[in-house]
Structure 1
């Protein structure tokens, strides 16, 4: 694989538990090509969300190396990691993490303003239109349904035009029909902006929409990552 966007080399993750240290990930090595869509699958506790957090610099590896766009995330301090995510990544969580005192438009515009974008509100409005919520721009999260809140979260992640888009169980809190619509929007945003997409899901059907499926079990890649079309 040439010029990987994400490269993990012999990565381990150990966290402190009530009974002592718990090994979450065991020596993972994985590369993700530019423009690829990758589905991370596995049972609860398999380590797929932890792996995604390492890719986004939201969790720090205990050992090994995590590189994104050629930068060694393991060598960056927290401030540098935050700037890197702001400038290069969009992250979508199962829980929407919207700011309750801000309107949908303000929630989407905030990361753009932090990045110094002069047209932050115009771009935010355009992203809300793209996810079908232009008419709800002035509403607060409490006035929106779960599906609408997730659409706002998608618009917020996509607005800075990130090179890397990470999604952790983005349909987990939604009913089946709404979840399908959110996934369609997620892949549409990825196609529109040309981002590399890594998606965590327990739904095999959803993962198989990706170019590549990576199964995890007990903190290890369970088998060679394969092309979903195979």
Structure 2
């Protein structure tokens, strides 16, 4: 284990600033502490890989950063918003305006075409040319010929590319990606990752990438390791060997 632990970085200008974050759930055996006092800051434009064994709290952390769950302790500030102080409507607006999310299981609406799925965040934001921008986003991930297809008519890799287009289409400040290649074969997953990092570079987006794959984590500039709900290592990614 890396001995260098940085529980906090300067949070004043951080795009993401988490302090003493706790998340506890009830079970028949009593309370289960999933996150145990995480403190973490991410600057605008950073790409951070979050790694750790199953049950370490990676996906829970992402849900809290996206305002999809509420912590039981601590604070979460993202893009200047105190997420703990927002009601559900305000959290929905926060996600619409600031965050794109990519899930392992795609989370596309099965009754909507690829174009309609990508247009959803733009329509919620009241963008006038939502469908034109959705088509352009699908073209940017190589799916301009699939805009009228439904998720069931697409391969897993194509569905995840639609999810990427949807996440980036509103040009959010932050992308949260939870095991984006987890349901894909190695070759398809590699293509999706190239698209993810290409889009991130093009838009200058801050990326928090949850992954079990150390090689994928090293594509980021920084790696945060979790274990038992705590940050155990926070270090720059080592350069890949030539």
TM-score, normalising length: structure 2: 0.93
The one of 190, 210, 235 aligned to 1:226: 235
Superposition misfits of 4+ residues, deviation over 3 angstroms: none
Q: Residues 161-199 of structure 1, C-alpha deviation per residue, up to 9 Å, x if partnerless?
A: 000100000000000010011011111111111110000
Task: Please report the RMSD computed on the Cα atoms of aligned residues, expressed in angstroms.
Answer: 0.9
* Alignment correspondent of 1:84: 94
User: Does 2:196 match 1:180?
Assistant: no
SS of the residue aligned with 1:214? strand
User: Unaligned 5+ residue runs, structure 1?
Assistant: none
- Paired residues in the alignment total 229
3-state secondary structure, aligned to 1:123: helix
Task: Please give the per-residue CA displacement for 1:1-33, whole angstroms capped at 9, x wherever unaligned.
Answer: 351000000111001223222110001100001
Residue 138 (str. 1) matches residue 148 (str. 2)? yes
Could you tell me which residue of structure 2 aligns to residue 71 of structure 1?
81
Give the match's secondary structure for 1:129.
helix
Which residue does the alignment assign to 1:31?
41
Matches within 5 A, 1:137-216: 137-216=147-226
Deviations along 1:174-229, one digit per CA (max 9) or x if unpaired, are: 00010011011111111111110000000000000001000000101112x10003
Say which SS state the counterpart of residue 8 (structure 1) adopts: strand
2:6 match: none
1:118 aligns with 2:124: no
